[in-house]
Chain A
Amino acid sequence: MNVALDARRLKAAEEFRAAGVPHRRMEAWKYSDLRPLIDAEQVASAPAAQWSIEAEGVELFDPAAGEGAFAGIMGEASLAFATATLGLRVKAAGRVRIAFATPGQARLRIVLDDGARLDYVESAPGGGLQNIGTEIVLGRGARMTHARLAQRAGGARIGDVSVTVAEGGCYRLHCADFGSDLSRLELDIKLRGIGAQAHLSGTSVLAQGLHADVTTHVDHAAGDTCSTQLFKLVAADKARAVYQGRITVRQGADGSDSRQTAKGLLLAERAEIDLKPELEIFADEVKCAHGAAVGDLDADSLFYLRSRGIADDEARALLIRAFLAEPLDEVEDEAMRAALWAAIEDALPGAMGQP
């Protein structure tokens, strides 16, 4: 029994019940309305999610102790209600492949000791209600690469990730989302120690009426911290792709450097892409750059390629791949990059209106 955590869980449950299932009148969930899909009772009584895992260099523990940090309301729900829990501790170098096989709720806590490294690949096939809350703690100089593949699915799929990075640590995320009735990855990253870094990149490729939302909050709480974000979203048919990214540079976090780019490619008139970058700066000596833009396939480029003999469909696919290439180029692991490209290739015909 851990009295402190139990108290924390009870408080989380109370807060969740008071707030209810997030919906579009809440600012943070403006583009992702969960209420038509599930109610609070379904969240509270969601079954334990099951997973398969391959792990090396990792100690398993019962994550009873901990701060119980979360990024958003659904992360708070996972803290309050998840009965499936998993703790992973890395002392030197670890490798984890985890696939969530069933709908349901789970709560994970990943701890990297000072100087440790972890290569973590997660796949979330979704279906029904899937709510996975992950709390990540990186020690001094620790490095984690987190790849998340969210396959095309149905139902509500939520990933809530809270990360704290100590001095000199580095968290890297590469995510790809192919949509669900509602799919959301919400991240809260605290760069707590001097020189801590976070590098996030991701893609969404959506067809039909599918939805995918990436919501990030990067908090520069110490000096000389650095964050980069690069997201590319493609929406076809009646799909909706969302990126919301808030960056906070706190007072005293001088020498911080933050860059944020989000671009959307609309392939149909009824598709929607919502990009919402936000900057809050309370420090004096900082470098911040952000940009967001939505466009459609460039007619000049398309004509150029076709005039060289490349058929319309192939030319469009080439331009979509070119649009997506930048965040994929950031993936250092070749096998991971190939896997992400393969998933994009699978999704392309659907996004281009082919059966």
Chain B
Amino acid sequence: MLEIKDLHAAVDGKEILKGLSLTVNAGEVHAIMGPNGSGKSTLSYVLAGRAGYKITSGSIRYRGEDLAALAPEERAAKGIFLAMQYPVEIPGVTTLTFLKTALNAQRRARGESELDAMGVLKRVRARASELKVSEEMLKRALNVGFSGGEKKRLEILQMALFEPRLAILDETDSGLDIDALKLVAEGVNALRAPERAMLVITHYQRLLQYIVPDRVHVLSAGRIVREGGPELAHELEAKGYEDIVRSAA
């Protein structure tokens, strides 16, 4: 699904990722853990194709294709989804209009037929109730006045609606209380599937109690310094990053 080899990437001329390698297969959930400033968010933006995040060397292959050559919208249409740490508020665009525009843009790019408003609403409704996304939220401007939990739930609702092949969750747990965290985690777990891969980026082990990963990678100073099974997350929680990073060096 995803094969990252010796990736170096820079933001504003400053190298943040320094030789990162990672392979994720279909059906797997991988966690990327690391201290602040280790390059976690940079990795998510590089994968989604944000302007200003420049790949200086190395490669990212997604389903056999060179990802660097694709615009963000092309990546989305091909099944890459990034649940953002800070979902953007857009006044003047209702949430439902946004969902319809995005879903149809992806479908159009894949040569599928567009859905009318009712068709979109049906699909949204089918997924909204489990995530406690109300009709009233859908009528409001995108993310405007949403609480932290509402924003994250809407991110997961989008993930359910777009049915991506590769979902990247960037600090989805940040700003959530325990109930909201459980709700979001259940939403994510419901989407685990043999044809879908997930990359869960998080600072804390807390989220991984609910979304149990197949593999855990520790990112430090732009490189993966340790890898292991789900037990590695517990070790990190017990010992802290400093210990792990030092012993890996």
A322 touches B92 (CB 8 A): yes
Partner of A304, one of B81, B84, B109: B84
| Set of chain A residues within 8 Å of B87, measured between Cβ atoms | 304
Asked if A65 is at the interface (CB within 8 A of a chain B CB), the reply is no
B101 touches A322 (CB 8 A): no
A307 touches B82 (CB 8 A): yes
Asked if A321 is at the interface (CB within 8 A of a chain B CB), the reply is yes
Bound complex: CA A299 to CA B48 (Å):
14
Asked if A120 is at the interface (CB within 8 A of a chain B CB), the reply is no
Bound complex: CA A286 to CA B81 (Å):
51
How far in angstroms is the closest Cβ of chain A from B213?
23
Bound complex: CA A315 to CA B82 (Å):
17
How far in angstroms is the closest Cβ of chain A from B208?
24
| Set of chain A residues within 8 Å of B48, measured between Cβ atoms | 303, 307
| Set of chain B residues within 8 Å of A308, measured between Cβ atoms | 73, 76, 98, 102, 105-106, 158, 162
Partner of B72, one of A306, A314, A322, A325: A306
How far in angstroms is the closest Cβ of chain A from B134?
21
A318 touches B84 (CB 8 A): no
How far in angstroms is the closest Cβ of chain A from B56?
20
B72 touches A319 (CB 8 A): no
Bound complex: CA A281 to CA B18 (Å):
60
| Set of chain A residues within 8 Å of B102, measured between Cβ atoms | 305, 308-310
Asked if A300 is at the interface (CB within 8 A of a chain B CB), the reply is yes
Name which of B71, B75, B90 has the most chain A CB atoms within 10 A of its CB.
Answer: B90
Q: A305-B102, A308-B76, A312-B73 in contact; A300/B93 too (CB < 8 A)?
A: no
Asked if A326 is at the interface (CB within 8 A of a chain B CB), the reply is yes
How far in angstroms is the closest Cβ of chain B from A258?
23
| Set of chain B residues within 8 Å of A300, measured between Cβ atoms | 86, 88
Within 8 A of A (CB), among B60-87: 71-73, 75-77, 81-82, 84, 86-87
B76 touches A303 (CB 8 A): no
Q: A300-B88, A304-B87, A325-B92 in contact; A309/B162 too (CB < 8 A)?
A: yes
| Set of chain B residues within 8 Å of A306, measured between Cβ atoms | 49, 71-73, 76
Bound complex: CA A143 to CA B76 (Å):
51
Asked if B50 is at the interface (CB within 8 A of a chain A CB), the reply is yes
Q: A303-B50, A307-B48 in contact; A319/B105 too (CB < 8 A)?
A: no
How far in angstroms is the closest Cβ of chain B from A92?
38
Bound complex: CA A231 to CA B217 (Å):
51
B92 touches A326 (CB 8 A): yes
| Set of chain B residues within 8 Å of A4, measured between Cβ atoms | none
Kindly report which residue of chain B lies nearest to residue A315, judged by CB atoms: B73
Asked if A29 is at the interface (CB within 8 A of a chain B CB), the reply is no
Bound complex: CA A319 to CA B84 (Å):
19
Q: A303-B72, A304-B84 in contact; A310/B105 too (CB < 8 A)?
A: yes
A310 touches B73 (CB 8 A): yes
Kindly report which residue of chain B lies nearest to residue A308, judged by CB atoms: B102
| Set of chain B residues within 8 Å of A314, measured between Cβ atoms | 101, 105
| B106-149 interface bits toward A, Cβ cutoff 8 Å, 1 = contact, 0 = none | 10010000000000000000000000000000000000000000
Asked if B58 is at the interface (CB within 8 A of a chain A CB), the reply is no
How far in angstroms is the closest Cβ of chain B from A307?
5
Q: A304-B88, A318-B101, A322-B91 in contact; A309/B50 too (CB < 8 A)?
A: no
Asked if A323 is at the interface (CB within 8 A of a chain B CB), the reply is yes
| Set of chain B residues within 8 Å of A322, measured between Cβ atoms | 90-93
| Set of chain B residues within 8 Å of A304, measured between Cβ atoms | 84, 87-88, 90
Q: A305-B102, A307-B76 in contact; A312/B71 too (CB < 8 A)?
A: yes
Kindly report which residue of chain B lies nearest to residue A299, judged by CB atoms: B51
Bound complex: CA A95 to CA B77 (Å):
50
Bound complex: CA A322 to CA B51 (Å):
22
Asked if A301 is at the interface (CB within 8 A of a chain B CB), the reply is yes
Asked if A60 is at the interface (CB within 8 A of a chain B CB), the reply is no
How far in angstroms is the closest Cβ of chain A from B8?
21
How far in angstroms is the closest Cβ of chain B from A256?
28
Q: A306-B71, A318-B101 in contact; A301/B109 too (CB < 8 A)?
A: no
Asked if A311 is at the interface (CB within 8 A of a chain B CB), the reply is yes
Within 8 A of B (CB), among A282-317: 298-301, 303-312, 314-315
Q: Could you list 18 further interchain pairs (A-B, Cβ under 8 angstroms) beyond the known A300-B86, A305-B102? A: A299-B51, A303-B72, A304-B87, A305-B98, A307-B48, A307-B50, A307-B72, A307-B76, A307-B82, A308-B102, A308-B105, A309-B102, A309-B106, A310-B101, A311-B105, A312-B73, A321-B93, A324-B92
